[in-house]
């Protein structure tokens, strides 16, 4: 843990590890979305056509409490823990920990929202504000814009203080999340109002859910890219903060 420069080779290895983690999580997300599309929309089995079927509720990525929701909650919760750990390592290495604390709190709140569908409880408020048609078919999007701005501001403020690789993962993750949760949600509302709950809406809604999963994976990888694992004394290993330059003591 001395005051040494974190080498380019070390950064490359960390970025590669973060990429592998992202691809693994993305593969699971793609599998869950594919199962939802193929089993629920293409197969001829009647049991998979009934929205009240427990199997449908488990596999449909659009359903609250589905396997896909559980996976997203796990990724976001794990990301919150890893961001907290990265903050602790940053503090030990002499860097500011508050940006990581900020992002850890944001991921914890996103996880809670995914689990409890808190954003959908804003629907009555959105309708009171005049939303409910077209791009605002899902009325919660209107008051949710304020939360989106808050999340974006949090990411920008934190990213300025994080290692460059972590900043990229963070900003890409937040941008993708907002594009899906606000942008594609609004597109889905337009589709519902214009052509109804048909094949086009199914594709838009599944794309939204997939991008949200990819965003959650990117947010987790922000912390993965900042935690250095290496050989320690004896047969042990060392965990450190992978900022490009160590501060002099």
Q: What is the pLDDT of residues 116-126, one digit of tens each?
A: 888 888 888 88
Given this model, what pLDDT does residue 124 score? 87
Residue 198 lies in a domain: yes
Residue 208 lies in a domain: yes
Q: Whole-prediction pTM value?
A: 0.89
Helix (H) or strand (E) holding 228: strand 227-231
Least confident among 46-60, 73-87, 169-183, 212-226: 46-60
Given this model, what pLDDT does residue 246 score? 46
Structure tokens at 90: 């940053």
Tell me which of 242 and 66 has the higher pLDDT. Answer: 66
Strand ranges (DSSP E) for 133-218?
none
Given this model, what pLDDT does residue 7 score? 53
Residue 119 lies in a domain: yes
Q: What is the pLDDT of residues 141-176, one digit of tens each?
A: 889 899 999 999 999 999 999 999 999 999 999 999
Pairing of strands 237-241, 227-231: antiparallel
| Count: domains in the chain | 1
Q: Is the pLDDT of residue 37 over 90?
A: no
Residue 36 lies in a domain: yes
| pLDDT > 70 in the chain, percent | 85
Residue 247 lies in a domain: no
Buried residues in 142-153 as b, exposed as e (16+ CB within 10 A):
bbbeebbeebee
Mean pLDDT, the chain, rounded, equals: 87
Range of the domain at 161: 8-241
Q: What is the pLDDT of residues 191-212, one digit of tens each?
A: 988 888 888 998 999 999 999 9
Residue 1 lies in a domain: no
Q: Is the pLDDT of residue 10 over 60?
A: no
Residue 128 lies in a domain: yes
């Amino acid at each position: 843990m001395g005051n040494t420069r974190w080498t380019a080779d070390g950064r490359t290895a960390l970025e590669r590890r973060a990429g592998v983690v992202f691809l693994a999580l993305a593969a699971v997300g793609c599998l869950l979305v594919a199962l939802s599309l193929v089993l629920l929309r293409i197969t001829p089995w009647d049991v998979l056509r009934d929205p009240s079927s427990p199997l449908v509720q488990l596999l449909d990525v659009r359903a609250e409490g589905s396997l896909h929701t559980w996976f997203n909650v796990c990724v976001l919760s794990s990301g919150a823990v890893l961001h907290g750990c990265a903050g602790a390592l940053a503090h030990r290495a002499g860097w500011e920990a508050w940006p990581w604390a900020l992002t850890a709190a944001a991921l914890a709140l996103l996880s809670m929202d995914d689990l409890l569908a808190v954003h959908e409880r804003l629907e009555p408020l959105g309708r009171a504000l005049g939303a409910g048609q077209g791009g605002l078919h899902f009325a919660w999007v209107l008051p949710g814009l304020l939360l989106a701005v808050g999340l974006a501001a949090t990411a920008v403020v934190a990213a300025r203080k994080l290692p460059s690789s972590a900043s990229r993962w963070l900003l890409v993750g937040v941008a993708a999340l907002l594009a899906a949760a606000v942008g594609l949600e609004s597109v889905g509302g337009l589709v519902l109002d214009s052509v109804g709950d048909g094949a086009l809406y199914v594709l838009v809604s599944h794309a939204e859910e997939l991008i949200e999963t990819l965003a959650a994976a990117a947010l987790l990888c922000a912390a993965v890219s900042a935690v250095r694992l290496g050989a320690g004394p004896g047969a042990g290993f060392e965990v450190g903060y992978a900022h490009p330059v160590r501060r002099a003591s």
